[in-house]
């Protein structure tokens, strides 16, 4: 299986010499394990990653004037990540990213019960999800690969799941490959939960940043953030980002869906064929000129406008991460898919392989 995973991940040539990878200790976890931190760097981007949660700790790119600056929210100490049980800064949640209604789903006629950590639902895999685990990390050409084995029954999910997440950097593009296999039928949905602020970490809100989402439909939610079931058109609603709109332009209008999400916290149906790498979203910050373009093979992307950041967490700049000081674009399958037969399936069977690819490309506009 190891060789198969290596082939499917796509062994990258070491010819791109400008990309360097180094690693060091990031500190001790409560378990006594040592968390590692990796620095992946080239001329355009510097990214730091840790084994704790397979997460992006920091990511620096240049603004329109060539000045480098950090553009994702997070901490400089692993202890702060251990203490933070709410934001999922930069992590890979799992085994199922997003929500499952009432913490229950049925697979092959058997019902499975999950921890309720976002009452009345289960969120991001449960109370001890993948973001709380110390993954095994190793350097690879142009990046880092993390691996985690989740045993049968972990957080209520069936099957022993082996997950690999590979981050690689080439030029101005970060590529994330997700791979998973199981020995028993299960469900899986992996993503990255980075919070971006293209004006710079600690620079204030993201409300002026201009967002485009390649989606004509989205999944409306109830008051507990569970999809109602239908795929609704975005046209004529505050969810129409088919042309650029600032995040703050319509976030305060009277709208039942914005009320249910406390702002934007919704899954958008990405145009095109799931399984093919295609454009999902683009966001531009007028202040810095930075642009982030997101491509994915996933059927959806969850746009979250940082509605529950409340100023209780310290930022790297010495301030606090306040309301809407970061946004997330979580490429994924739809929320509650295990309970929605009409949605793209998240089932994974023995002998099959879950695979997902997402890219972040960083440019600037004058």
Residues carrying an active site annotation? 193, 330
Distance CA 144, CA 38 (A): 7
Q: Using alpha carbons, select from 321, 319, 269 the residue that is nearest to residue 296.
A: 269
Are the CB atoms for 343 and 334 separated by under 8 Å?
Answer: yes
Distance CA 78, CA 174 (A): 23
Give the three-class secondary structure for 5: helix
DSSP secondary structure of 121-150: BEETTSTT-GGGSB-EEEEETTEEEEEEEE
214 contacts: CB under 8 Å, gap ≥ 6: 242, 270, 271, 272, 278, 279, 280, 281
For tokens 């007028």, the residue is 286
Q: Is 143 exposed, middle or buried (0-12, 13-18, 19+ CB in 10 A)?
A: buried
Are the CB atoms for 162 and 348 separated by under 8 Å?
Answer: no
Tally Cβ neighbours within 10 Å of residue 216: 15
């Amino acid at each position: 299986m190891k060789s198969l995973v290596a082939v499917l991940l796509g062994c990258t040539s070491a010819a791109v010499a400008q990309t360097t990878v180094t690693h060091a200790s990031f500190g001790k976890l409560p378990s006594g394990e040592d968390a590692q931190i990796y620095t992946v760097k080239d001329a355009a981007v510097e990214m730091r990653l840790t084994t704790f949660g397979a997460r992006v700790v920091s990511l620096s790119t240049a603004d329109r004037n060539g000045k480098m600056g950090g553009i994702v929210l997070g901490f400089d100490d692993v202890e702060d990540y251990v203490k933070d049980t709410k934001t999922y800064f930069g992590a890979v949640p799992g085994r199922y990213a997003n929500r499952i209604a009432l913490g229950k789903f049925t697979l092959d006629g058997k019902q499975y019960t999950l921890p309720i950590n976002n009452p009345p639902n289960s969120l991001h895999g449960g109370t001890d999800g993948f973001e709380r685990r110390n993954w095994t990390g190793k350097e690879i050409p142009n990046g880092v690969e993390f691996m985690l084995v989740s045993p049968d029954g972990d957080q209520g999910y069936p099957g022993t799941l082996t997950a690999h997440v590979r981050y690689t950097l080439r030029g101005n593009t970060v590529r994330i490959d997700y791979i998973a296999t199981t020995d028993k039928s299960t469900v899986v949905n992996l993503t990255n939960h980075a919070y971006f602020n293209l004006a710079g970490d600690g620079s204030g809100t993201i409300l002026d940043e201009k967002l485009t989402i390649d989606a004509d439909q989205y999944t409306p939610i109830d008051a507990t953030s569970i999809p109602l079931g239908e795929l609704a058109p975005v046209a004529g609603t505050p969810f129409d980002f088919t042309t650029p709109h600032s995040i703050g332009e319509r976030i305060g209008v009277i709208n039942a869906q914005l009320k249910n999400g406390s702002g934007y916290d919704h899954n958008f149906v990405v145009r095109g064929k799931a399984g093919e790498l295609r454009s999902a979203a683009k966001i531009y910050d007028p202040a810095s000129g930075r642009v982030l373009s997101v491509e994915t093979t996933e059927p959806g992307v969850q746009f979250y406008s940082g509605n529950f950041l409340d100023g209780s967490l310290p930022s790297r700049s010495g301030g606090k991460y306040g309301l809407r000081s970061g946004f997330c674009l979580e490429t994924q399958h739809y929320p509650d898919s295990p309970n929605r037969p009409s949605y793209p399936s998240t089932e994974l069977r023995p002998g099959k392989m879950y695979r997902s690819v997402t890219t972040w490309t960083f440019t600037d506009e004058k």
